[in-house]
Chain A
């Protein structure tokens, strides 16, 4: 692929006009990118913002944060091709940190509960069940 950077004046001179007239997704993410998205979610629309894969094909941008879930299947391979990794390992907002801590605690409690039940330690199991219930409330509050 030959890449040319053009300023406004030169782009007019060279007859490159409205960049939105291209399939921006293709331009941005490589040829076939828009189709890739389409394959992942045939005729799917985002429940939150009503964005469709056709819109992505046109603009190369998504409609809202929920679109990442809606079009996850198609986006997966694109993100993989585009970025260094597939998972975020950088900054976490405090809110997310709290939720993650609660989730980790939930996992530990659930494991302990299974173990207590297996060991027929019902007293401890009952206490663990209570703690899990409390944690579920905390989690739904923090979400």
Chain B
């Protein structure tokens, strides 16, 4: 599959149809694997790295899941194309920095991506829309089982799968979900949640993983440890915690609706106003405002059938997608103008927020006093 045809279709997770999609944007599970007694990518000399790449890539490409896949060496991808893959979470930022000796293979539906010679020889990842960690694990586990029959993976009966970094040893698995938590942020409960989650061995990070800032009220939550716990246990534990966070987020939204409806309406109205009329829109501001629009959508202020329009903007306004779609390289200032223009055009056909339609769990419109269910 050509890169351009992959770009023109949104991956399954971008269409946002999975369970709990209002709060959980996507679920990802990745497995790290290495070949026995071969230097890890960061330590291997170029010749060895290339030999390992060729050996693994052939096996990955012949997988039934990878029929008609997009497969490319990192040295053959332009910087912008790599960045597009990062924005779609199909490769890591670390992998984007690689060149000769590394490759990426992505299936047609963009639910499965395999990075070869990232930090480990193999990083297989499945990404799904909504809360679907189990399904994501199932797919990547199947691929792992198929590959292990053909490749000699480094495995120790006591330590499990051996990885370049000791933090991944054992299952080699990192399961994570991207959560949209504007309710908890607006009601200033987010730090409490983050602290509680950190205490039980889970990590909370920003939009692009380790070391990145939280933007657009988007948070990634993932398992921190990989040794001493079964894959299914990790997935179940994480799923339960996420379900609790979903409840907390919904509670926070209801509380905001009931206690601070005018603050909420003000936020949504401002976001709509700025996005509709601004002519320069930095990507961070765009994410933050789009997040509020998305919240408004969840609460009923915008018609449901317009949801995809907003969800798409989250990714289309990212710097690389913006430049790729406009087919030109732009500096930051030009990007901000173009981003503002794209958003304005999209919102032109978008109705004004209808505050009267914003409903709480009680089913009452906002104008009704929410007394009966209190």
User: A-side interface residues toward B, CB under 8 Å?
Assistant: 5-7, 10, 28-29, 48-49, 51, 55, 59-66, 68, 75, 78-79, 82-96, 99-100
Contact = CB atoms under 8 A, between A and B. Distances in A.
Interface in B184-208: 201, 205-206
Contact of B165 (A60, A83, A86): A60
Given A61-B119, A65-B154, A93-B155, A82 B160 contact: no
Contacts of B229: 84-85, 89-90
Contact of A89 (B37, B167, B169, B228): B228
Interface of B: 34-40, 42-43, 119, 141, 144-145, 148-149, 152-162, 164-167, 169-171, 173, 201, 205-206, 211-213, 225-231
Contacts of B144: 91
Contacts of A88: 156-161, 169-171, 227-228
Contacts of B213: 5-7, 10
A44 to B, nearest CB: 16
Chain A residues touching B, majority SS: loop
Nearest to B201: A84
A90 B306 CA distance: 43
B40 A87 contact: no
Greatest chain B CB density within 10 A among A29, A68, A84 is at: A84
A51 B43 contact: yes
A83 B228 contact: yes
6 contacts: A29-B166, A29-B167, A59-B42, A63-B40, A84-B201, A90-B231
B170 A28 contact: no
Of listed A28, A29, A95, residue having the most chain B CB within 10 A = A95
Contacts of B34: 64-65
A65 B36 contact: yes
Contact of B228 (A55, A78, A85): A85
Contacts of A63: 39-40, 43
Nearest to B93: A8
> At the interface, is chain B mostly helix, strand, loop or mixed?
loop
Nearest to A4: B211
Contact of A79 (B153, B161, B166): B166
Contacts of A86: 227-228
B303 to A, nearest CB: 35
A100 B155 CA distance: 12
Given A29-B166, A84-B225, A68 B156 contact: yes
A83 to B, nearest CB: 4
A28 B228 CA distance: 19
A15 B254 CA distance: 42
Contacts of A61: 40, 42-43, 119, 164-165
A79 B227 contact: yes
Given A7-B213, A51-B43, A65-B34, A82 B167 contact: yes
A51 B157 CA distance: 23
Contacts of A66: 37
A94 B148 contact: yes
A49 B162 CA distance: 15
Contact of B141 (A5, A64, A65, A91): A91
Going nearest first, the 10 A-B pairs with the smallest beta carbon separation are A85-B228, A88-B160, A65-B154, A83-B227, A84-B228, A65-B162, A63-B43, A90-B171, A61-B164, A83-B225
Contact of A6 (B155, B211, B228): B211
Contacts of B228: 83-89
Contacts of B206: 5, 7
B159 A79 contact: yes
A62 B212 CA distance: 25
B148 A95 contact: yes
B162 A68 contact: yes
A90 B160 contact: yes
B225 A65 contact: no
Nearest to A69: B156
Contacts of B167: 28-29, 82
A125 B343 CA distance: 82
A51 B42 CA distance: 11
B149 A94 contact: yes
Contact of A28 (B159, B165, B173): B165
Given A10-B213, A88-B160, A93-B148, A64 B40 contact: yes
A86 B35 CA distance: 22
Given A62-B166, A64-B40, A75-B166, A93 B171 contact: no
Contacts of A87: 158-159, 227-228
